[in-house]
Chains A and B, each alone.
Chain A
Amino acid sequence: MNKRLGAVAALLGIGLLTVGVTAQNSRSSTLIYGGDFSGLITLDPGQSYEFAGSLVTNNLYETLVKFEGEDLSTLQPSIATKWTTKDAGDVWKVTFNLRNQKFASGNPVTSDDVVYTFDRAIAMKGPGSFLFTSVANMKVGSTKAVNKNTVEVSFPKTASPAAFLNLLTFNIGGIVDSAVVKTHVVDNDYGTNWLKRNSAGSGPYVLNRWDQSQSVVLDANKNSRLLPRLSRVILREIKEANTQKIALESGEIDIADNLTPDMVKAKASESKFNVYKADSLNLQYLGMNVGDASPFKDARVRQAVRYALDQDGIIKSLAGGNARKVQTIIPAGLFGFNPATPYNLNPEKAKELLKAAGKEGGFEFDMLTPQGACLAGIPCADLAAKIQSDLAKIGLKANIKQLVDSELYPLYRAQKATMVLVDWSPDFPDPDGNATPMSDFGAKSLAWRNVWNNPTAGSLAQKAALEPNPSKRAALYKQLTELQLEDGPFAILFQPTVSVTLSKAVKGYLRNAQNQIRFEKISKQ
């Protein structure tokens, strides 16, 4: 018995020792990225939709065009070396010239792969497929191979060429190796069951393995033209912020993605760590139902709410400064952003507006609030309490009803929320990702949910989406955002920044507002 115990102890000792040695050897060439990746359910670029899926697939697959660094305004070549948009009567035709390059398998990247990728995504009807079908109005057959290195996409003029090009930077635009995927198709599943846990792209990394709820291991793609600096990147799933902090301090992970604002603040003052602040395109907002039976029907009441909200206090005290004050519907960082912030805290002005609207005595209503954390890591309950307190100062009594998302959203989507505290982010970096849902009643999205039917706003959003001339487009968005400021059903609360804590050894980490991180640019010292 003693011998057995001794053997186990020896093995444990060997294990711990060898781990140390291995760690030393591979530390400089491996990045360990700790975070909450529990949303990861598939690595198929045609199906993945959430943050963790995007993070991985963006590094496994290249898109035709991409954004570089933090800039989301200028598209750069990727698989496509150049592209042209042509007005072809009833349709737009966008032609892409592909560079000569290879997939990880060694197969060349051809126009047939692009056709297969886009048609496959549309046919699978995955969560992101609406970008092709609803935003770009594409269908199976819209993409055609002109020759081996030229591909053409046609779509009706009801869709915006700018939005189409921008949405190609999202997961769904990741080009798959059609020859490899086709060999794994089972029961007409488009190979998605295989691609869920395997990779077939030309990105800087290939998938080594994914152990659900544990880690995703990516190895450098030897056929990639992008020459990754690290031979291996491991995403380590650690949901709990305290555990992430401990793992970062002990050197177990190099990057902690989800520390609380207090932890980030503490780490920023320590010499061993850097804090990277990334913009995001998310907006935390209050939605006000303007239906006939709602107390927010009168635009002056909605303006009163905006004047009553202490945005600076929310950003400083609750978000710990990790947010930007915005009041318009297009987030900073996107084309068409309007920096106007005319609603400064002014309860007296708010009361005057209520009086003018015949609501001098105030009123009572339910404010639907999600459970858990809102943007910038603020507990939704705290944010709701702050709003409740601000509104109480002008005589409005908000009854906070905290609901799980699965209860809250069906009510909101059914136009049954008088006031709702939620957030929104565009799926692709184009102002239309916010402008149409928030302004066009016919789009049956946010404007519809709040029963805000303003034909001028809807028309402006549609025109702006389709306007190819940038200065004219900018003018249309200025008009729209000003109209929204005055009459819209939203009170924008803030646009958060994302704080990521890194070991000082990590260099080259960049994260754009679309949450894209290019691992090939990261190195360790």
Chain B
Amino acid sequence: MLNYTIRRLFFVLFVVWGVSVATFFLSQVVPGDPALVALGDKATDEMIANFRVKNGLDKPVVAQYFSYVGRLLQGDLGTSLRTGRPIIDDLRDFFPGTLELSITALLIAALIGIPAGILAALNQNRPPDFIIRFLALIGGATPIYWLAILLLEFLHNKLRILPGPGRLDAYLIAPTRVTGFVGIDALLARDWQVFGDSLAHLILPAFVLGAFSSALLARMTRASMLETLSQDFIRTARSKGVSQSQVVIKHALRNAFLPVLTVLGGVLGGLLSGAVLTETIFSWPGVGRYTTDAAISLDFPAVMGVTLLAGMAYSIINLVTDLLYALFDPRITYA
């Protein structure tokens, strides 16, 4: 298992290298002038030339790539053309927001989607199944934009039971940054008001993000459970008099969980890459908004930084998913 993990981690490096090559050379074929975007339409030719020299944009593409890789090997993702800050500092600001939103959304999705899928499978072609399948269809088809505005309007504006956009109430000042996670920083500062408020602010955006994923998980869990429940070993267990709950939890769910686990990993990877719409509507400072702004500004170093981060996140999540397979299915071993 250890050897396998090390081999896979080594493979992650290749993925990151591949991502760096692909994003770098793709960025070169995108039409437009990053210097002009950064400096604005009124910049003089001299200012544009100075900007190119300062940011190494005047060098040949291959030289730019090797210079980029050289810095990358030293842990330097470069400087954002738009914000003028080291990209690592920008990501330090934006990634915690995305991470806390993604994990909460995933939890919500799992807590809703998996039990719903099980319930639907156990009641195949009966009213609970129809209702869950209908809700899953609605959940999967509802535009995130629409759901977000709807929930903000009713739960925040009309009923006043949940807070509005942002990570904190506008009148509250976030505690001194330690981790970048507002809730954790509030705990460290023993600021209970900010802690409670930060949790409350997570609910709506995480629910909106989780709603779509929960629909996907419900459908996947249902299909996987139905397939497992029709297997011989389930019939055998039942014929031996094993209780329904034992059959479902101990035998069926454990076996049906592998495809669900794969979906969970994919969902988390997608969430970590940033949820542009949710982050925009809820004014949530995350990687999705950062990347969109960077892409619009032709801020290629920033786009490449985020892409590398996303590539690494996907690779590691896939690795963890694969390792978890062994936990759920003893037949799977890694050498």
Contacts and interface: CB of A to CB of B under 8 A. Distances in A.
Given A14-B192, A252-B165, A127 B83 contact: no
B163, B165, B197: most-surrounded residue (chain A CB, <10 A): B165
Interface stretch (A136-144, A161-169, A238-246, A334-342): A238-246
Interface in B159-208: 160, 163-167, 169-174, 192-200
Nearest to A371: B296
Interface stretch (A105-113, A374-382, A390-398, A403-411): A403-411
Contact of B172 (A22, A127, A213, A243): A22
A115 to B, nearest CB: 23
B33 A406 contact: yes
A32 interface: yes
Given A8-B199, A16-B163, A127-B43, A32 B192 contact: no
A523 to B, nearest CB: 17
Interface stretch (B21-29, B264-272, B278-286): B278-286
Contact of A215 (B44, B45, B170, B298): B170
B36 A413 contact: yes
Interface string B128-164: 0000000000000000000001001100110010011
B174 A211 contact: yes
A27 B169 CA distance: 12
Contacts of B165: 238, 243, 246-247, 252
B281 to A, nearest CB: 5
Interface string A419-459: 00000000100000000000000001100000000000000
Contacts of B195: 11, 15
B290 interface: yes
A238 B283 contact: yes
Interface in A200-215: 208-209, 211-215
Nearest to B293: A38
A42 interface: yes
Interface string B81-97: 01111000010011000
A237 B34 contact: no
Contacts of B32: 404, 406-407, 410
Contacts of B47: 125, 127, 129-130
A406 B197 contact: no
Contacts of B82: 41
Contacts of B126: none
Interface in A1-54: 8, 11-16, 18-19, 22-23, 26-27, 30, 32, 38, 41-42, 49-50
A243 B170 contact: no
Nearest to A405: B37
B283 A236 contact: yes
Contacts of A16: 163, 196-197, 200
A42 B199 CA distance: 30
Contacts of B331: none
B324 interface: no
B84 A41 contact: yes
B307 to A, nearest CB: 19
Contact of B283 (A14, A209, A243): A243
B222 interface: no
B39 A127 contact: yes
Contacts of A211: 93, 174, 285
Contact of B171 (A15, A22, A405): A22
B283 A15 contact: no
Contacts of B163: 16, 19
B75 interface: no
Interface in A98-137: 125, 127, 129-130, 134
A172 interface: no
A406 B82 CA distance: 13
A234 interface: yes
A217 interface: yes
B289 interface: yes
B160 A250 contact: yes
A332 interface: no
B31 interface: yes
Nearest to A41: B83
Contacts of B192: 11, 14-15, 18
A171 to B, nearest CB: 13
Interface string B46-80: 01001000000000000000000000000000000
Nearest to B36: A409
Contacts of A409: 33, 36, 41
A249 interface: yes
A213 B290 contact: yes
Given A12-B200, A16-B196, A243-B283, A213 B160 contact: no
B250 interface: no
A476 B285 CA distance: 51
Contacts of A32: 170-171
A407 B172 CA distance: 42
A239 B200 contact: no
Interface in B1-48: 31-34, 36-37, 39-45, 47
Contact of A127 (B34, B40, B289, B297): B40
Contact of A253 (B36, B45, B170, B293): B170
5 closest A-B pairs by beta carbon, nearest first, are A15-B196, A406-B32, A213-B285, A15-B197, A18-B193
24 contacts: A11-B196, A12-B196, A13-B196, A15-B199, A16-B197, A19-B163, A50-B40, A130-B47, A196-B84, A196-B85, A209-B174, A211-B174, A211-B285, A236-B170, A240-B280, A240-B281, A240-B283, A246-B152, A246-B153, A247-B164, A247-B165, A252-B170, A407-B32, A410-B33
Given A406-B298, A410-B33, 11 more contacts: A23-B171, A38-B289, A130-B42, A234-B170, A237-B283, A240-B280, A246-B153, A252-B165, A253-B170, A404-B296, A406-B33
Interface of A: 8, 11-16, 18-19, 22-23, 26-27, 30, 32, 38, 41-42, 49-50, 125, 127, 129-130, 134, 196, 208-209, 211-215, 217, 234, 236-240, 242-243, 246-247, 249-250, 252-253, 404-407, 409-410, 413, 427, 444-445
